[in-house]
Amino acid sequence: MVDVCNTNTLNCLNNGQCAVDTILNTTYCECASCYGGSVCEHTISSQSQIDTIYVYLIVSIIGLFVSLLNNILGLELFIGCSRVRRTNCGIYLIVYSIVSILSSILFAVNQSVKYYLDKIPKSDLSHYPPYQCYFAKIGYNALVYVCIWLSACIAVERGLIVSWNSKTNATRWRSICTIIFLSAVACGSITPMIIYKCDWGNIPSLQTMRLILVWFSTVAGLSTYVLAILLILISFARRIRRYGTENGSFIKTYLKLFYSHLFIFIPPIAYAVGYIPYTIVNNTQDTNQLYFQCGISMVEFIVKVLIESLQGVPPVLTWLLFIYPSKVYMTEYYMNTWSGQRLARIVMFFRENHEKKHNVCPTTMDLINDERSRLNWSRFMMTGTGLIMSPRRELTQMPVRPVEG
C-alpha cells in the first residue's frame, strides 16, 4: 500500500500529523490540542472540550433556586415580624433580600440568553447585542455591589449597637437615607455605561471610570466591614476591663465574647471567601492567557468554575448568613413565621425520636428556650448580670445590650 503522506508533502505545523482520508483519497493535517486550520496554523485560545456556557447556565439556575429559598424565608421574617421590620437592620435586610433576588434573576436570564444564542446563533436575539451589557456587566454587577454595601451597613449598625448602645428603631431615617444615597450613587455610576453600551474597549475614559467604581466598591465596602469589626472588638476590650475577668483569663473571656457575637463576623468572612480566591487567581495568571485557557485539565476547570461561582454565593444565602447565626433572629423566626413553626416541628420530630430512650419529649417552647438560654448567656457575658429577657421586652438586633453609664 502506498504511503500517501510520503508522496504528498503536507507541512503540518505545531506538531500536527499527516492523516489520510481513505474515502476521498486525500491527505489532511490532524492537529494537536489547541491548534486548528488546514495546516494547524491557528492557535485556539479558549478551551473547547467542555461547554462552559452550559455549565454556567446550570450554576445560574441552582443559584436562582437557592436565592429564592433563602431570601423568601428571610423576607418572611424581616417583613412579617414587626420587631425586626421597624429596626434599621431590618430595613437594610429587606432591601438586601430584594436586591439579592433581582441579581439572581438577572444572572440566570443572562446565562439563559447566552446559551440560547450559542445554540441558535441566527435568532432574533442576535440582533440585540447589548443584552449582556445590560444584564451582566451593569445589572448583575451593580446589584451585587449594592449587596456588599448593604451588608457592610448592617455590620456598622450592629457595631453601633454594641459599642455605643445605639437604639435600633429610634432613628430609622439613618437607614432610609443611606439606602437613598446608595441608590443615587448606583444610578449615577451606571448611566454612562448604559449610554455607551459598555463600549469601554473603544472609550478609555469609560474604562477608567469602570475600574474606579470597581475598586471603590470593593475597597470602601471592605473598609466599612473593618470599621464595624474594630468597633466591636474595642467594645469587647472595654467591657472586659470594666467587669474584670473573675471567671478566667483575659484571652478566654475575650474569646467567649467573640464567640457569642460570631454571627456579626459571618457575612464579611463569606464575602472574603467568595471574592479573594478569584481575585488571586485572576491577577496571578499570565495576562496573555484566558481564564479557561485551552489545554487545562478537568480538575483545573472544575476548580476555576467553583472559584468564579463563589462570588455569587454570599448574596443568595441571606437566611444562612443573617438569620441562622443570630440567636435573636432565630427566636423570632421560630415564634412569628409560618416556615419557622414548621421547621420547629421537624426539629422536634427528630429530637423526639433521638431522645425516646430518655423519655424526654421536646416541645415547641424547648427550641425557643434553647435560643433564649443562649441569648441570656450572651447577655450575662456583656452586662455582668443574669437578667432574663422579659416577654414584653423589645428584642434588639443584637443578643445583648451594654450597660449604660
Residues 36 and 75 in one domain: no
What's the pLDDT score for residue 101? 93
CATH code of 39's domain: 2.10.25.10
Among all chains, which residue has been given the C-alpha cell 423519655?
A: 359
Residue 315: its pLDDT value, please? 84
The string over 153-186, giving b where at least 16 C-beta atoms fall within 10 Å of a residue's C-beta and e elsewhere, is: bbbbbbbbbbbeebebbeebeebeebbeebeebb
Res. 348: pLDDT tops 60: yes
Q: Which of 284, 307, 323 is the last residue of a domain?
A: 323
Amino acid at 202: N
pLDDT at 65: 94
Is the model's pLDDT at 376 over the cut of 80? no
Number of domains present in the structure of the chain: 2
How many C-beta atoms surround the C-beta of residue 36 within 10 A? Answer: 15
| Residue 351 covered by a domain | no
Q: For residue 380, what pLDDT band results from cuts at 50, 70 and 90?
A: very low
In this structure, the answer to whether residues 85 and 186 fall within a common structural domain is yes
Q: HSE-up of 240 (CA within 13 Å, CB side)?
A: 19
pLDDT, mean over the chain: 74
In angstroms, rounded to a whole number, what is the distance separating the alpha carbons of residues 17 and 31?
6
Residue bearing the bigger pLDDT, 405 or 268: 268
Distance CA 314, CA 329 (A): 19
- Tens digits of per-residue pLDDT, 226-242? 778 777 777 777 777 67
Q: Indicate whether 34 and 61 sit together in one domain.
A: no
Tens-place pLDDT, residues 43-82:
776 665 667 788 888 988 999 999 999 999 999 999 988 8
Confidence at residue 387, expressed as pLDDT on a 0 to 100 scale: 30
The SS3 call for residue 380 is: helix
Whether the predicted pLDDT of 377 surpasses 50: no
Residue 201, pLDDT score = 64
Is the per-residue pLDDT at 179 higher than 50?
Answer: yes
135 occurs within a structural domain: yes
Report CA dihedral (292, 296, 297, 299) to the nearest 10 degrees. -40
Check residue 266 and give its pLDDT: 82
Q: Is 292 helix (H, G, I), strand (E, B) or coil?
A: coil
Strand partners, 309: none
Domain assignment of residue 59, given as a range: 52-323
